[in-house]
Structure 1
Amino acid sequence: MAPIMTVTTDFRDVYPAIMKGVIMNIAPGTNIIDITNTIEQGNILQGAFILKSASAYFPPGTIHLAVVDPGVGSKRRALVIKGERYTFVGPDNGLMIPAAREQGEFKVFEITDPEFYTDHVSPVFHGRDVFAPAAAFIAAGKEVPLSGEILDYIEIDPGKEKVADRSIYGKVVYVDGFGNMITNITGETMSGIYDYGDKIKINGSPSKFVKAYHEGSEETAIALIGSHGMLEIAVNLGSASKALSINAGDEISIEPIRGNTY
Protein backbone atom coordinates (compact mmCIF):
# COMPACT_ATOMS: atom_id res chain seq x y z
CA MET A 1 0.00 0.00 0.00
CA ALA A 2 1.33 3.46 -0.90
CA PRO A 3 2.19 5.62 2.12
CA ILE A 4 -0.45 8.14 3.15
CA MET A 5 0.46 11.67 4.13
CA THR A 6 -1.82 14.53 5.17
CA VAL A 7 -1.01 18.22 4.91
CA THR A 8 -2.31 20.91 7.28
CA THR A 9 -1.10 24.48 6.79
CA ASP A 10 -2.07 28.14 6.77
CA PHE A 11 -0.35 28.64 3.39
CA ARG A 12 -3.47 29.04 1.23
CA ASP A 13 -2.22 28.51 -2.35
CA VAL A 14 1.08 27.93 -4.20
CA TYR A 15 3.19 26.94 -1.21
CA PRO A 16 1.41 23.64 -0.42
CA ALA A 17 1.95 22.60 -4.05
CA ILE A 18 5.67 23.34 -3.74
CA MET A 19 5.85 21.17 -0.61
CA LYS A 20 4.08 18.35 -2.44
CA GLY A 21 6.59 18.61 -5.27
CA VAL A 22 9.41 18.10 -2.77
CA ILE A 23 7.59 15.11 -1.27
CA MET A 24 6.98 13.46 -4.65
CA ASN A 25 10.64 13.82 -5.62
CA ILE A 26 11.72 11.96 -2.48
CA ALA A 27 8.84 9.51 -2.07
CA PRO A 28 7.09 9.00 -5.43
CA GLY A 29 3.68 7.42 -5.14
CA THR A 30 2.88 8.89 -1.74
CA ASN A 31 -0.85 9.47 -1.38
CA ILE A 32 -1.01 13.10 -0.24
CA ILE A 33 -4.30 14.36 1.20
CA ASP A 34 -4.95 17.94 2.26
CA ILE A 35 -6.69 18.28 5.59
CA THR A 36 -6.71 22.02 4.98
CA ASN A 37 -4.42 24.81 3.85
CA THR A 38 -6.77 27.54 5.04
CA ILE A 39 -6.00 27.70 8.75
CA GLU A 40 -6.20 31.35 9.83
CA GLN A 41 -2.67 32.55 9.21
CA GLY A 42 -0.48 32.09 12.27
CA ASN A 43 -3.34 30.67 14.36
CA ILE A 44 -1.64 27.72 16.05
CA LEU A 45 -4.60 26.97 18.30
CA GLN A 46 -6.95 26.68 15.33
CA GLY A 47 -4.48 24.48 13.49
CA ALA A 48 -4.11 22.23 16.53
CA PHE A 49 -7.88 21.88 16.82
CA ILE A 50 -8.33 20.96 13.15
CA LEU A 51 -5.41 18.53 13.16
CA LYS A 52 -6.71 16.82 16.29
CA SER A 53 -10.24 16.62 14.86
CA ALA A 54 -9.24 15.20 11.47
CA SER A 55 -6.09 13.15 11.98
CA ALA A 56 -7.69 10.30 13.91
CA TYR A 57 -9.82 9.26 10.92
CA PHE A 58 -6.83 8.16 8.84
CA PRO A 59 -5.39 4.63 8.69
CA PRO A 60 -2.58 3.58 11.02
CA GLY A 61 0.80 4.51 9.61
CA THR A 62 -0.37 7.83 8.18
CA ILE A 63 2.17 10.66 8.32
CA HIS A 64 0.65 13.99 9.33
CA LEU A 65 2.64 16.97 8.04
CA ALA A 66 1.50 20.15 9.80
CA VAL A 67 2.93 23.62 9.32
CA VAL A 68 1.38 26.63 11.04
CA ASP A 69 4.61 28.28 11.98
CA PRO A 70 4.72 31.99 12.90
CA GLY A 71 8.09 31.28 14.57
CA VAL A 72 9.77 30.13 11.36
CA GLY A 73 13.39 31.27 11.26
CA SER A 74 13.64 31.51 15.05
CA LYS A 75 15.24 29.00 17.43
CA ARG A 76 12.05 26.95 17.71
CA ARG A 77 12.74 23.27 17.07
CA ALA A 78 11.66 21.08 14.16
CA LEU A 79 9.99 17.90 15.41
CA VAL A 80 9.11 14.37 14.44
CA ILE A 81 6.54 12.76 16.73
CA LYS A 82 6.26 8.98 16.61
CA GLY A 83 3.04 7.60 18.02
CA GLU A 84 1.16 4.35 18.32
CA ARG A 85 -0.82 5.00 15.12
CA TYR A 86 0.69 8.01 13.38
CA THR A 87 3.80 10.07 12.78
CA PHE A 88 3.63 13.86 12.93
CA VAL A 89 6.13 16.29 11.41
CA GLY A 90 6.16 20.03 12.07
CA PRO A 91 7.30 22.86 14.34
CA ASP A 92 7.67 22.76 18.10
CA ASN A 93 4.94 25.25 18.94
CA GLY A 94 2.17 23.02 20.31
CA LEU A 95 0.49 22.51 16.93
CA MET A 96 0.81 18.71 16.85
CA ILE A 97 0.65 17.72 20.52
CA PRO A 98 -3.16 17.56 21.00
CA ALA A 99 -3.47 15.30 17.94
CA ALA A 100 -0.53 13.17 19.03
CA ARG A 101 -1.97 12.76 22.50
CA GLU A 102 -5.39 11.84 21.09
CA GLN A 103 -3.97 8.77 19.31
CA GLY A 104 -2.24 7.24 22.35
CA GLU A 105 1.37 7.00 23.50
CA PHE A 106 3.96 9.00 21.57
CA LYS A 107 7.58 10.11 21.67
CA VAL A 108 8.94 13.43 20.46
CA PHE A 109 12.25 13.89 18.64
CA GLU A 110 14.05 16.92 17.24
CA ILE A 111 15.38 17.04 13.68
CA THR A 112 19.04 17.67 14.43
CA ASP A 113 20.22 18.54 10.92
CA PRO A 114 17.73 20.79 9.11
CA GLU A 115 19.98 20.75 6.03
CA PHE A 116 19.87 16.97 5.60
CA TYR A 117 17.93 17.45 2.35
CA THR A 118 19.22 20.74 0.98
CA ASP A 119 22.26 22.97 1.49
CA HIS A 120 20.15 26.09 1.28
CA VAL A 121 17.41 26.08 3.93
CA SER A 122 15.32 29.22 3.59
CA PRO A 123 14.73 30.89 6.96
CA VAL A 124 11.18 31.65 5.85
CA PHE A 125 10.07 28.38 4.22
CA HIS A 126 10.84 25.43 6.49
CA GLY A 127 7.69 23.79 5.14
CA ARG A 128 9.52 23.24 1.86
CA ASP A 129 13.10 22.81 3.08
CA VAL A 130 12.77 20.96 6.41
CA PHE A 131 9.32 19.55 7.18
CA ALA A 132 8.26 18.28 3.74
CA PRO A 133 11.61 16.50 3.17
CA ALA A 134 11.50 14.93 6.64
CA ALA A 135 7.95 13.67 6.12
CA ALA A 136 8.89 12.36 2.67
CA PHE A 137 11.99 10.55 3.96
CA ILE A 138 9.82 8.85 6.56
CA ALA A 139 7.27 7.88 3.88
CA ALA A 140 10.11 6.42 1.78
CA GLY A 141 11.47 4.42 4.72
CA LYS A 142 14.66 6.48 4.89
CA GLU A 143 16.45 7.81 7.95
CA VAL A 144 15.92 11.36 9.21
CA PRO A 145 18.60 12.79 11.56
CA LEU A 146 16.86 12.86 14.94
CA SER A 147 17.89 13.55 18.52
CA GLY A 148 17.08 11.31 21.41
CA GLU A 149 13.59 11.69 22.86
CA ILE A 150 12.84 15.18 24.16
CA LEU A 151 10.41 15.92 26.98
CA ASP A 152 10.32 19.72 27.02
CA TYR A 153 8.26 20.17 23.87
CA ILE A 154 5.85 23.10 23.71
CA GLU A 155 2.22 22.48 24.68
CA ILE A 156 -0.73 24.63 23.67
CA ASP A 157 -3.53 25.69 25.99
CA PRO A 158 -6.90 25.97 24.25
CA GLY A 159 -8.44 27.29 27.44
CA LYS A 160 -11.40 25.80 29.24
CA GLU A 161 -14.96 26.91 29.48
CA LYS A 162 -16.12 28.49 32.71
CA VAL A 163 -19.44 27.73 34.33
CA ALA A 164 -21.33 30.02 36.72
CA ASP A 165 -24.75 28.83 37.80
CA ARG A 166 -26.32 27.85 34.42
CA SER A 167 -24.18 30.21 32.37
CA ILE A 168 -21.24 28.95 30.32
CA TYR A 169 -18.41 31.15 29.06
CA GLY A 170 -15.90 30.11 26.42
CA LYS A 171 -14.52 31.20 23.07
CA VAL A 172 -14.81 30.39 19.39
CA VAL A 173 -11.90 28.23 18.23
CA TYR A 174 -12.82 27.83 14.57
CA VAL A 175 -15.32 29.10 12.01
CA ASP A 176 -15.86 26.54 9.26
CA GLY A 177 -16.76 27.12 5.63
CA PHE A 178 -20.49 27.17 6.45
CA GLY A 179 -20.03 29.92 9.02
CA ASN A 180 -20.61 27.48 11.89
CA MET A 181 -18.68 28.46 15.02
CA ILE A 182 -16.98 25.65 16.91
CA THR A 183 -16.24 26.60 20.50
CA ASN A 184 -14.01 25.29 23.29
CA ILE A 185 -17.14 24.39 25.29
CA THR A 186 -17.41 20.62 25.49
CA GLY A 187 -20.57 18.78 24.60
CA GLU A 188 -20.49 17.18 28.04
CA THR A 189 -20.56 20.57 29.74
CA MET A 190 -23.43 21.82 27.59
CA SER A 191 -25.57 18.69 27.89
CA GLY A 192 -24.88 18.53 31.62
CA ILE A 193 -26.59 21.90 32.09
CA TYR A 194 -29.15 22.13 29.28
CA ASP A 195 -31.65 19.76 27.69
CA TYR A 196 -32.47 19.75 23.98
CA GLY A 197 -35.16 22.32 23.33
CA ASP A 198 -34.08 24.64 26.15
CA LYS A 199 -34.21 28.33 25.37
CA ILE A 200 -30.88 30.09 25.72
CA LYS A 201 -29.05 33.31 24.87
CA ILE A 202 -25.87 33.28 22.80
CA ASN A 203 -23.99 36.48 23.58
CA GLY A 204 -27.36 37.96 24.47
CA SER A 205 -29.20 36.80 21.31
CA PRO A 206 -32.23 34.48 21.79
CA SER A 207 -31.59 30.91 20.67
CA LYS A 208 -32.17 27.32 21.69
CA PHE A 209 -30.22 24.11 22.20
CA VAL A 210 -31.04 21.52 19.51
CA LYS A 211 -29.81 18.19 18.14
CA ALA A 212 -29.39 19.04 14.45
CA TYR A 213 -29.13 21.94 12.02
CA HIS A 214 -32.58 21.47 10.48
CA GLU A 215 -34.22 22.41 13.78
CA GLY A 216 -33.19 26.03 13.32
CA SER A 217 -34.55 28.75 11.07
CA GLU A 218 -32.64 30.65 8.42
CA GLU A 219 -32.61 33.78 10.58
CA THR A 220 -31.75 32.67 14.10
CA ALA A 221 -28.61 31.00 15.45
CA ILE A 222 -28.91 27.69 17.25
CA ALA A 223 -26.58 25.77 19.57
CA LEU A 224 -25.82 22.09 19.10
CA ILE A 225 -23.13 19.53 19.81
CA GLY A 226 -21.21 19.27 16.56
CA SER A 227 -19.38 16.35 15.02
CA HIS A 228 -16.23 17.45 16.85
CA GLY A 229 -17.94 16.80 20.18
CA MET A 230 -17.83 20.51 21.02
CA LEU A 231 -20.59 23.08 21.31
CA GLU A 232 -21.26 24.59 17.89
CA ILE A 233 -23.25 27.67 16.96
CA ALA A 234 -24.98 27.50 13.58
CA VAL A 235 -27.65 29.04 11.37
CA ASN A 236 -29.66 26.67 9.19
CA LEU A 237 -28.65 27.44 5.58
CA GLY A 238 -26.71 30.49 6.73
CA SER A 239 -23.63 31.76 8.55
CA ALA A 240 -23.81 32.01 12.33
CA SER A 241 -20.56 33.97 12.37
CA LYS A 242 -22.07 36.68 10.15
CA ALA A 243 -25.46 36.59 11.87
CA LEU A 244 -23.98 37.19 15.31
CA SER A 245 -20.88 39.15 14.19
CA ILE A 246 -18.64 36.71 16.07
CA ASN A 247 -15.31 35.48 14.72
CA ALA A 248 -12.66 32.94 15.65
CA GLY A 249 -10.99 33.93 18.91
CA ASP A 250 -13.99 35.89 20.20
CA GLU A 251 -15.53 35.22 23.59
CA ILE A 252 -18.92 33.52 23.71
CA SER A 253 -21.52 33.11 26.44
CA ILE A 254 -24.42 30.70 26.81
CA GLU A 255 -27.10 31.77 29.28
CA PRO A 256 -30.60 30.52 30.02
CA ILE A 257 -33.80 32.27 28.98
CA ARG A 258 -36.52 31.97 31.58
CA GLY A 259 -40.14 32.54 30.67
CA ASN A 260 -39.53 34.08 27.24
CA THR A 261 -40.70 32.68 23.92
CA TYR A 262 -38.21 31.70 21.25
Structure 2
Amino acid sequence: MIFLFTDYGCQGPYLGQLEAALRLEAPGADVINLLSDAPVADPLHASYLLAALSRQLPPRGVFLGVVDPGVGGDRLPVVLQADGRWFVGPDNGLLNTVAVQAEQVRWWRIDWRPARLSASFHGRDLFAPVAARLAKGTADVDLTEYGGPDLSRWPTDLAAVVYIDHYGNAITGWRHGPESDGKSLLAAGRRIPQADTFCRVAEGEAFWYRNSCGLVEIAVNRGRAAEVLGLQIGAEFRFSDPGA
Protein backbone atom coordinates (compact mmCIF):
# COMPACT_ATOMS: atom_id res chain seq x y z
CA MET A 1 0.00 0.00 0.00
CA ILE A 2 1.00 3.60 -0.62
CA PHE A 3 -0.22 6.07 1.99
CA LEU A 4 -0.45 9.77 1.11
CA PHE A 5 0.25 12.42 3.72
CA THR A 6 0.11 15.96 2.31
CA ASP A 7 -1.00 19.52 2.93
CA TYR A 8 -2.56 19.72 -0.54
CA GLY A 9 -6.18 19.86 0.61
CA CYS A 10 -9.05 18.17 -1.22
CA GLN A 11 -9.78 21.05 -3.57
CA GLY A 12 -7.71 21.87 -6.62
CA PRO A 13 -5.71 19.58 -8.91
CA TYR A 14 -2.75 18.60 -6.76
CA LEU A 15 -4.01 15.52 -4.93
CA GLY A 16 -5.48 14.08 -8.12
CA GLN A 17 -2.24 14.62 -10.04
CA LEU A 18 -0.30 12.92 -7.26
CA GLU A 19 -2.58 9.88 -7.30
CA ALA A 20 -2.45 9.71 -11.09
CA ALA A 21 1.37 9.70 -11.07
CA LEU A 22 1.38 6.84 -8.56
CA ARG A 23 -1.13 4.73 -10.48
CA LEU A 24 0.66 5.25 -13.78
CA GLU A 25 3.91 3.98 -12.24
CA ALA A 26 2.38 1.24 -10.07
CA PRO A 27 -1.06 0.30 -11.50
CA GLY A 28 -1.59 -2.56 -9.06
CA ALA A 29 -0.76 -0.69 -5.88
CA ASP A 30 -3.42 0.39 -3.41
CA VAL A 31 -3.21 4.16 -2.91
CA ILE A 32 -4.79 5.47 0.29
CA ASN A 33 -5.20 9.16 1.09
CA LEU A 34 -4.21 9.08 4.75
CA LEU A 35 -4.34 12.86 5.26
CA SER A 36 -4.54 15.76 2.82
CA ASP A 37 -4.90 18.69 5.24
CA ALA A 38 -1.70 18.46 7.25
CA PRO A 39 -0.60 21.81 8.71
CA VAL A 40 0.10 23.92 5.64
CA ALA A 41 3.79 24.61 4.96
CA ASP A 42 4.56 23.40 8.49
CA PRO A 43 6.72 20.25 8.41
CA LEU A 44 7.62 20.54 12.11
CA HIS A 45 4.12 20.11 13.51
CA ALA A 46 3.05 17.82 10.66
CA SER A 47 5.89 15.43 11.50
CA TYR A 48 4.35 14.42 14.84
CA LEU A 49 1.05 13.64 13.18
CA LEU A 50 2.75 11.58 10.45
CA ALA A 51 4.63 9.57 13.06
CA ALA A 52 1.44 8.83 15.03
CA LEU A 53 -0.62 7.85 11.99
CA SER A 54 2.08 5.63 10.50
CA ARG A 55 2.44 3.68 13.74
CA GLN A 56 -1.17 2.50 13.37
CA LEU A 57 -0.47 0.88 10.01
CA PRO A 58 1.37 -2.34 9.12
CA PRO A 59 5.06 -2.50 8.24
CA ARG A 60 6.16 -2.67 4.60
CA GLY A 61 3.84 0.17 3.63
CA VAL A 62 5.20 3.16 1.70
CA PHE A 63 4.35 6.61 3.03
CA LEU A 64 4.57 9.49 0.59
CA GLY A 65 4.86 12.66 2.67
CA VAL A 66 4.70 16.09 1.06
CA VAL A 67 4.65 19.18 3.26
CA ASP A 68 7.30 21.03 1.37
CA PRO A 69 7.47 24.84 1.58
CA GLY A 70 11.09 24.72 0.37
CA VAL A 71 10.33 22.82 -2.84
CA GLY A 72 12.87 23.68 -5.54
CA GLY A 73 15.38 24.85 -2.94
CA ASP A 74 18.36 23.27 -1.19
CA ARG A 75 16.54 20.68 0.92
CA LEU A 76 17.30 17.08 -0.09
CA PRO A 77 14.80 14.58 -1.48
CA VAL A 78 15.15 11.50 0.71
CA VAL A 79 13.97 8.00 1.52
CA LEU A 80 13.72 6.82 5.12
CA GLN A 81 13.26 3.26 6.28
CA ALA A 82 12.00 3.16 9.87
CA ASP A 83 11.04 -0.10 11.59
CA GLY A 84 10.11 -1.75 8.30
CA ARG A 85 8.13 1.17 6.87
CA TRP A 86 9.27 3.27 3.92
CA PHE A 87 8.92 7.06 3.84
CA VAL A 88 9.57 9.26 0.81
CA GLY A 89 9.66 13.04 0.99
CA PRO A 90 11.73 16.15 1.61
CA ASP A 91 14.48 16.35 4.21
CA ASN A 92 12.97 19.39 5.90
CA GLY A 93 11.88 17.92 9.23
CA LEU A 94 8.75 16.16 8.01
CA LEU A 95 10.28 12.69 8.48
CA ASN A 96 12.35 13.50 11.56
CA THR A 97 9.83 12.52 14.23
CA VAL A 98 9.31 9.15 12.56
CA ALA A 99 13.08 8.64 12.75
CA VAL A 100 13.59 9.68 16.38
CA GLN A 101 10.71 7.49 17.56
CA ALA A 102 11.86 4.42 15.60
CA GLU A 103 14.25 1.71 16.76
CA GLN A 104 15.80 0.88 13.37
CA VAL A 105 16.48 3.67 10.88
CA ARG A 106 18.23 4.03 7.53
CA TRP A 107 18.36 7.11 5.26
CA TRP A 108 19.00 7.47 1.53
CA ARG A 109 19.39 10.53 -0.66
CA ILE A 110 17.40 10.36 -3.91
CA ASP A 111 19.86 10.95 -6.76
CA TRP A 112 17.46 9.90 -9.53
CA ARG A 113 15.74 12.64 -11.48
CA PRO A 114 12.87 12.23 -13.98
CA ALA A 115 12.99 13.57 -17.52
CA ARG A 116 10.41 16.16 -16.47
CA LEU A 117 10.90 17.83 -13.09
CA SER A 118 8.94 20.96 -12.40
CA ALA A 119 10.44 23.43 -9.95
CA SER A 120 7.33 23.52 -7.77
CA PHE A 121 5.74 20.03 -7.87
CA HIS A 122 8.28 17.48 -6.69
CA GLY A 123 5.45 15.51 -5.08
CA ARG A 124 4.15 14.51 -8.50
CA ASP A 125 7.36 14.45 -10.52
CA LEU A 126 9.97 13.10 -8.10
CA PHE A 127 8.55 11.65 -4.88
CA ALA A 128 5.58 9.81 -6.43
CA PRO A 129 7.64 7.74 -8.93
CA VAL A 130 10.12 6.80 -6.20
CA ALA A 131 7.33 5.79 -3.81
CA ALA A 132 5.63 3.76 -6.54
CA ARG A 133 8.80 1.87 -7.39
CA LEU A 134 9.46 1.10 -3.74
CA ALA A 135 5.91 -0.24 -3.48
CA LYS A 136 6.55 -2.45 -6.50
CA GLY A 137 9.80 -3.69 -5.00
CA THR A 138 11.91 -2.48 -7.90
CA ALA A 139 15.38 -1.00 -7.47
CA ASP A 140 15.64 1.13 -10.63
CA VAL A 141 15.98 4.40 -8.68
CA ASP A 142 19.38 5.85 -7.84
CA LEU A 143 19.67 6.14 -4.07
CA THR A 144 22.75 6.89 -1.96
CA GLU A 145 22.69 5.83 1.68
CA TYR A 146 23.84 8.45 4.15
CA GLY A 147 23.63 9.23 7.85
CA GLY A 148 20.55 11.41 7.67
CA PRO A 149 19.97 14.74 9.37
CA ASP A 150 21.32 15.59 12.82
CA LEU A 151 18.46 14.69 15.17
CA SER A 152 20.32 15.11 18.46
CA ARG A 153 18.12 18.09 19.41
CA TRP A 154 14.88 16.98 17.78
CA PRO A 155 12.19 16.48 20.48
CA THR A 156 10.89 12.92 20.63
CA ASP A 157 7.52 14.31 21.74
CA LEU A 158 6.17 17.84 21.37
CA ALA A 159 4.08 19.47 24.10
CA ALA A 160 2.11 21.56 21.64
CA VAL A 161 -0.96 21.38 19.42
CA VAL A 162 -0.05 19.95 16.00
CA TYR A 163 -3.47 19.61 14.35
CA ILE A 164 -7.04 20.87 14.67
CA ASP A 165 -9.47 18.25 13.40
CA HIS A 166 -12.88 18.54 11.74
CA TYR A 167 -14.59 18.65 15.13
CA GLY A 168 -12.38 21.38 16.55
CA ASN A 169 -10.43 18.97 18.75
CA ALA A 170 -6.78 19.88 19.33
CA ILE A 171 -4.41 16.96 18.71
CA THR A 172 -0.99 17.37 20.29
CA GLY A 173 2.43 15.96 19.49
CA TRP A 174 2.70 14.24 22.87
CA ARG A 175 2.35 10.48 23.12
CA HIS A 176 0.23 9.41 26.05
CA GLY A 177 2.01 7.48 28.78
CA PRO A 178 1.37 6.40 32.37
CA GLU A 179 3.38 9.35 33.68
CA SER A 180 0.63 11.74 32.56
CA ASP A 181 -2.36 9.78 33.85
CA GLY A 182 -4.34 11.57 36.55
CA LYS A 183 -2.69 14.90 35.84
CA SER A 184 -4.26 18.12 34.67
CA LEU A 185 -3.17 19.77 31.46
CA LEU A 186 -2.45 23.50 31.50
CA ALA A 187 -3.10 25.22 28.17
CA ALA A 188 -4.35 28.64 27.09
CA GLY A 189 -4.53 29.75 30.70
CA ARG A 190 -6.90 26.93 31.61
CA ARG A 191 -6.58 23.87 33.79
CA ILE A 192 -7.99 20.92 31.82
CA PRO A 193 -8.70 17.59 33.57
CA GLN A 194 -8.27 14.13 32.11
CA ALA A 195 -11.23 11.95 31.13
CA ASP A 196 -11.54 8.64 29.30
CA THR A 197 -13.94 9.91 26.66
CA PHE A 198 -16.60 12.50 25.86
CA CYS A 199 -19.47 10.91 27.78
CA ARG A 200 -17.49 11.13 31.02
CA VAL A 201 -17.77 14.92 31.23
CA ALA A 202 -20.67 17.36 31.17
CA GLU A 203 -21.73 19.05 27.96
CA GLY A 204 -19.54 22.08 27.30
CA GLU A 205 -16.75 20.86 29.59
CA ALA A 206 -13.15 20.72 28.39
CA PHE A 207 -10.98 17.67 29.00
CA TRP A 208 -7.99 15.83 27.62
CA TYR A 209 -7.75 12.17 26.71
CA ARG A 210 -5.67 9.56 24.91
CA ASN A 211 -6.91 9.55 21.33
CA SER A 212 -7.09 6.61 18.94
CA CYS A 213 -3.55 7.28 17.66
CA GLY A 214 -2.08 7.29 21.16
CA LEU A 215 -1.65 11.07 21.33
CA VAL A 216 -2.86 13.50 23.98
CA GLU A 217 -5.89 15.34 22.58
CA ILE A 218 -7.83 18.29 23.99
CA ALA A 219 -11.59 18.35 23.44
CA VAL A 220 -14.84 19.88 24.64
CA ASN A 221 -17.92 17.70 24.94
CA ARG A 222 -20.40 18.91 22.29
CA GLY A 223 -18.14 21.86 21.54
CA ARG A 224 -15.14 22.94 19.51
CA ALA A 225 -12.12 23.01 21.79
CA ALA A 226 -10.02 25.14 19.43
CA GLU A 227 -12.62 27.91 19.54
CA VAL A 228 -13.74 27.54 23.16
CA LEU A 229 -10.18 27.50 24.50
CA GLY A 230 -8.56 29.69 21.84
CA LEU A 231 -6.16 26.97 20.72
CA GLN A 232 -4.26 26.93 17.46
CA ILE A 233 -1.41 24.92 15.96
CA GLY A 234 1.72 25.57 17.98
CA ALA A 235 -0.11 26.33 21.25
CA GLU A 236 1.99 24.85 24.06
CA PHE A 237 0.86 23.03 27.21
CA ARG A 238 2.24 21.31 30.28
CA PHE A 239 1.03 18.77 32.81
CA SER A 240 0.56 19.41 36.51
CA ASP A 241 -0.83 17.50 39.46
CA PRO A 242 -4.53 18.17 40.08
CA GLY A 243 -4.97 21.21 42.29
CA ALA A 244 -1.31 22.18 42.01
Contact 1:159/1:184, CA 8 A, preserved across alignment: no
**Structure 1: tracts of 5 or more residues without a match:** 162-169
Change (3 A) 1:25 1:187: closer
Q: 1:235 aligns with which of 187, 207, 220?
A: 220
- Alpha-carbon offset, residue 51 of structure 1: 1.4
The C-alpha deviation readout for 1:162-186, integer Å capped at 9, x for no partner, is: xxxxxxxx42222222211123445
Aligned equivalent of 2:162:
173
Q: Structure 1 residue 121 and structure 2 residue 117: aligned?
A: yes
Q: 1:214 aligns with which of 183, 194, 199?
A: 199
Aligned equivalent of 1:6:
3
C-alpha RMSD of the superposition? 2.5
Distance 1:74 1:201 in 2: 39
- Alpha-carbon offset, residue 257 of structure 1: 6.2
The C-alpha deviation readout for 1:143-195, integer Å capped at 9, x for no partner, is: 2433431114264835767xxxxxxxx4222222221112344533422xx35
Contact 2:100/2:156, CA 8 A, preserved across alignment: no
- Alpha-carbon offset, residue 236 of structure 1: 1.2
- Identical columns (%): 29
The 5-angstrom pairing of residues 75-94 of structure 1 reads 75-94=74-93
- Alpha-carbon offset, residue 102 of structure 1: 4.0
Q: 2:131 aligns with which of 127, 130, 135?
A: 135
Distance 2:102 2:32 in 1: 19
Change (3 A) 1:89 1:160: closer
Contact 1:190/1:231, CA 8 A, preserved across alignment: no
- Alpha-carbon offset, residue 25 of structure 1: 0.9
Distance 1:98 1:123 in 2: 27
Aligned equivalent of 1:56:
55
Contact 1:221/1:240, CA 8 A, preserved across alignment: yes
- Alpha-carbon offset, residue 99 of structure 1: 2.2
Give the alignment's TM-score, normalised by structure 2. 0.86
Give the alignment's TM-score, normalised by structure 1. 0.81
Q: 1:157 aligns with which of 150, 154, 157?
A: 154
Aligned equivalent of 1:164:
none
**Structure 2: tracts of 5 or more residues without a match:** none
**AA of the residue aligned to 1:174:** Y
**AA of the residue aligned to 1:82:** Q
Distance 2:32 2:225 in 1: 29
140-149 vs 240-249, which deviates more? Answer: 140-149
Aligned equivalent of 1:190:
180
Distance 1:207 1:86 in 2: 36
Distance 1:141 1:186 in 2: 32
Q: Structure 1 residue 15 and structure 2 residue 5: aligned?
A: no
- Alpha-carbon offset, residue 237 of structure 1: 2.2
Distance 1:158 1:201 in 2: 20
Distance 1:186 1:138 in 2: 29
